[in-house]
Amino acid sequence: MKGVLFLAFIALLAGLSIFSVIELHSLYFAMHSFIGELGVVMLLIFTLLITLRYLGLMLFSMLNNIRRTARRHKPNRDYPKVSIIVPAYNEDVVIQKSLISIMEQTYPRLEIIVVDDGSADATFVKAKQLEYDNGVSSLKVLRKPNGGKAKALNYGMEHSSGELIMVVDADSKLSDDAIERMVPYFDDIRVAAVAGSVYVSNRINTLTRLQALEYIEGLNMARNGQAFFKLVSIIPGPIGVFRKTALQEVGGYDSDTFAEDADLTLKLIAAGYRIDFEPEAFAYTEAPDSLLDLLKQRYRWTRGILQSLAKHKSMMLHVMRRPKISLVLWYMFFESILWPFMDVLGALFFIYVSYTSGTSAFIFYWWLLFTLLDLAGALYCVLTTRESLSLTWYAIFYRLYFISVINVSKIFATIEEWMNLKMDWGKLNRKGNL
């Protein structure tokens, strides 16, 4: 019944989308200048790309789900030792909740290593209270002078003895079988890393609920779609498992970008490894609950991804020689630069059209098309995960308000990165809503 309803809704959305595209197409004939015609052509190309992006990711995500459920992993006869590295800097509000969720994992052979990166609060003391060693698994706390997340992760890796390295942010909480679900992927020796799903834990206001929708639709669904090709573009900070030998081969984490997770994933793909995704391994993370904190986070993400892109840009043109890394880099370029710019330029174009020739219905069709795509994506994600159906309706506000504000901020961050302006990490203050 759920499936039939979903198909009927998708058919309705598809019909409305086609209608919107036809209406947008007729905008071309309403233009009387070359600039206007060029604007419409660019807009239509962009709309086509976005539509293909949504439908493609949904399709591949669906195919990946089918393939994943059809595959049966062999039960682990010998559990490879997993070293979990938790880098922490001023995380005393959340560190214990995070560590307890790791200690409660169903996976037996764990080595938990907390790296206190020179915290000025009680992070070290609070983590130290949980230290243990029972011969099979252990938790130890290391301390080093502040040097940034990448150095803290490398430091933890140097002190680890597991074959697999799991990285968990200190502000994240894991589902109890997360590691057990992720480890079997490493039976395939070509797999270097596996990402898990990230969910928002603090759904306390509209902003955090919109982020909850963004995480399941924009991040988790995208990763599930990318996993069909074993090319997940970013292993998220809150939950990722790596093969230690692969990490050592590519030199571990680098400190020259503010998105060390994106940079490392790109290095692994460039080295020819596969990157997979386990949607049923969850990490719950605390999302920024105020707009300015959210902009602070997105500013760092945008500039960090742009730095990673710039670092690996030479491989973008190796389409024939290194198609996988080239494809991933072009995808990231589209998502992080082209999309925000085209979205805002499109809105400005419609404002211009409305100003010069009266309020036009085209702006409504433009919004309708993208909102329908968001609704379809949200509905798909809600039905394929354990999310609440009520989250779907936030898709309307997502397009109308949330994404435009984020895109404006991304554009400014891109310009600042292009101008090479100085930046710092932009640490968020935790509220403890894990």
Partner 1 sequence: MDLIAFMSMVILIITILTLSFGVVAYFLYKLREKRAKKQQQVTYEELREESGDDFIFFEK
Smaller CB distance to partner 1: residue 6 or 397?
397
Other Cβ atoms closer than 10 A to 72: 7
Cβ burial 333-368 (10 Å sphere, 16+ → b, else e): beebbebbebbeebbebbeebeeeeeebebbebbbb
CB of 291 to partner 1, least distance (A): 6
Three-state SS at 146: coil
Smaller CB distance to partner 1: residue 6 or 28?
28
Number of H helices, E strands in the chain: 17, 9
Name the strand (E) or helix (H) holding 199: strand 191-200
CB of 302 to partner 1, least distance (A): 12
Which among 250, 70, 276, 265 is positioned nearest to 187, based on CA atoms? 276
Residue type, 149: K
Smaller CB distance to partner 1: residue 121 or 180?
121
Smaller CB distance to partner 1: residue 164 or 353?
353
User: DSSP per residue over 38-106, as a string?
Assistant: HHHHHHHHHHHHHHHHHHHHHHHHHHHHHHHHH--PPP-SS---EEEEEEESS-TTTHHHHHHHHHT-S
277 has which bridge partners?
A: 195
Smaller CB distance to partner 1: residue 132 or 425?
425
Three-state SS at 87: strand
Report how far residue 95's alpha carbon sits from residue 127's, in angstroms, rounded to the nearest whole number: 7
CB of 219 to partner 1, least distance (A): 21
Smaller CB distance to partner 1: residue 316 or 345?
345
CB of 94 to partner 1, least distance (A): 21
Smaller CB distance to partner 1: residue 62 or 363?
363
Smaller CB distance to partner 1: residue 68 or 431?
431
Report how far residue 235's alpha carbon sits from residue 263's, in angstroms, rounded to the nearest whole number: 10
Report how far residue 36's alpha carbon sits from residue 221's, in angstroms, rounded to the nearest whole number: 35
CB of 404 to partner 1, least distance (A): 4
CB of 409 to partner 1, least distance (A): 5
**Residues that bind partner 1 in the complex, under the rule CB under 8 A:** 291-292, 295-296, 299, 344, 347-348, 350-351, 354, 359-364, 367, 400-401, 404-409, 412, 426
CB of 120 to partner 1, least distance (A): 12
Q: Are 189 and 249 in contact, with CB atoms under 8 Å apart?
A: no
Contacts with 8 (C-beta within 8 Å, 6 or more apart), sequence order: none
CB of 413 to partner 1, least distance (A): 9
Report how far residue 88's alpha carbon sits from residue 237's, in angstroms, rounded to the nearest whole number: 12
Report how far residue 193's alpha carbon sits from residue 246's, in angstroms, rounded to the nearest whole number: 9
Q: Are 57 and 394 in contact, with CB atoms under 8 Å apart?
A: no
Smaller CB distance to partner 1: residue 132 or 364?
364
* φ, ψ of residue 179 in degrees (nearest 5): -70, -40
Per-residue tokens: 192:
């270097």
User: DSSP per residue over 5-21, as a string?
Assistant: HHHHHHHHHHHHHHHHH
CB of 370 to partner 1, least distance (A): 11
Smaller CB distance to partner 1: residue 52 or 405?
405
Three-state SS at 172: strand
CB of 255 to partner 1, least distance (A): 21
Q: Hey, CA dihedral for 162, 168, 173, 175, is it positive or negative?
A: negative
Per-residue tokens: 60:
């591949």
Smaller CB distance to partner 1: residue 248 or 290?
290
